[in-house]
A and B are shown apart, each in its own frame.
Chain A
């Protein structure tokens, strides 16, 4: 059957030889097919080198792919969530009674806590007034849907959908779920932002432990609970002490809840995160204007120019 060149649509090259747009001699074609593997191998090795030499290149590719995938994952996310929530009305009917009882009990406890919180708030306000406390600027925040947990074998991160309105630069924003810090935005495109979780191997968060604010570093281990490093020798963090972020280094604002101290089997201190990192659905991204991260050391002159530009942007915004 001769269908060669009839439509000129056959761009592929089956080995059966029946179809081919460009007629090449058989030895030449064999040589070509034998060459593609080494050529592609050289190309991939080149990519590895480029990726090593210029981190921006792979970051750009990453952001492009994230922007492309976020809407697609958003589409499949809703049915998956619907299935997870027990298939709607029918799924909930069976445990409505137990659920109601649980909620009533929880409500009673929460009302007690509300009283405690209000009393503490009043006390806090009085103490701040007597100290002439200058409040830290309120962060700008918005809530984003977690569309995918695109962590790798050796990486822990999630993809958060950005709202259409355009939130400006969210790189460096602190991501929190309802209970505590989940991570930080490492790169962002137009539609999606990638949040590096506190459990990632590359995550380092300066923290303050307990009521005295003992400084330490929380380092991700790729496991579910990050490790605590560099605490003051002779003063090991107490089991159950609360872990808050610390402003050391300027990457995080102080006082955000992270987790509680726990000693693992090897008697090494680790942090049990408050945030439910295994099943994140919604994340709030807080952009703190004053503590923008300076991830790379920049020379004095550039820093001043950047600070000016930043100040101008702030003025422009307000």
Chain B
């Protein structure tokens, strides 16, 4: 057998491969939203929804923005709002603003060590949750309890390394369009 460069499939199969890799971030985000809604009966499951979505938008906007275009983020935001019974479109606005912020800072932020991106994520997640709390209180005209904010803060600080670890593997493997 001749040892040459690995034979890559061409045509249709290659395009399918590229498509699968390209849609991986969006698909994993939607699947995550679905899985978090399963009836496990765990405490704080509802708080996991916004934290996971924020982590997805943050990570993929930072390292692979082409794979998570704005319409997908808007759709995920609308879904998140419908699942979590918050006002329609509120989370879509928040996630898009988050994406805008991350895209603006990505040239500098993407080169930073992991610890710093983790800290920045915690700050942004808290800002998003806080904004959601304020806007939802305003839209429903009542003072919402602040306790979920604490849970969201703990989740975003504690779970980001695990989520990011999974995403970094995906970023180098199944989501890497350039490897197709």
Contact = CB atoms under 8 A, between A and B. Distances in A.
Contacts of B40: 80
Nearest to B35: A76
19 contacts: A3-B11, A3-B14, A13-B66, A14-B18, A19-B18, A37-B96, A41-B70, A44-B74, A44-B89, A51-B87, A150-B37, A152-B46, A152-B84, A153-B132, A153-B152, A154-B86, A222-B144, A222-B145, A278-B41
A43 to B, nearest CB: 6
A151 B39 contact: no
Nearest to A147: B39
B142 A201 contact: yes
Contacts of B132: 153
B50 A51 contact: no
Contacts of A7: 11-12, 15
B158 interface: no
B85 A155 contact: yes
Contacts of B71: 36, 40
B interface residue count range (under 10 / 10 to 19 / 20 to 34 / 35 or more): 35 or more
A65 to B, nearest CB: 5
B143 to A, nearest CB: 10
A14 B24 CA distance: 13
B127 interface: no
Given A80-B39, A153-B84, A222-B145, A44 B77 contact: yes
Contacts of B86: 152-155
B136 to A, nearest CB: 6
A16 B99 contact: no
B93 A65 contact: no
Most A C-beta atoms less than 10 A away, residue of B18, B77, B103, B139 = B18
B15 A9 contact: yes
A279 B41 CA distance: 7
B19 interface: yes
The 8 closest A-B pairs by CB, nearest first: A51-B88, A47-B89, A152-B84, A44-B92, A155-B85, A58-B88, A15-B66, A152-B85
B66 A47 contact: no
A151 B85 CA distance: 7
A110 to B, nearest CB: 27
Interface residues of A, number: 55
B153 interface: no
A45 interface: yes
Interface in A227-274: none
A48 B89 contact: yes
Q: Classify the secondary structure of B's interface with A.
A: helix
Interface string B62-90: 00001001110110011100111111111
A185 interface: no
A75 to B, nearest CB: 10
A16 B96 contact: no
B11 to A, nearest CB: 6
B66 A73 contact: no
A16 B64 CA distance: 12
Contacts of B12: 6-7, 9
Interface string B91-102: 011001101100
A54 B113 CA distance: 47
A61 interface: yes
Interface string B3-28: 00000001110110011001100000
Contact of B74 (A43, A51, A72): A43
Interface in B139-180: 139, 142, 144-145, 147-148, 152, 177-178
A51 B77 CA distance: 14
Contact of B88 (A3, A14, A50): A50
B49 interface: yes
B68 to A, nearest CB: 11
Contact of B47 (A6, A37, A62, A153): A153
A10 interface: yes
A51 B87 CA distance: 7
Most B C-beta atoms less than 10 A away, residue of A44, A50, A151, A278 = A44
A152 B83 contact: yes
Given A52-B139, A62-B82, A154-B148, A77 B22 contact: no
A48 B86 CA distance: 11
Contact of B39 (A15, A58, A149): A149
Contacts of B11: 3, 6-7
Contact of A151 (B23, B46, B50): B46
A43 B1 CA distance: 57
A45 B178 CA distance: 35
B83 A1 contact: no
A14 B176 CA distance: 11
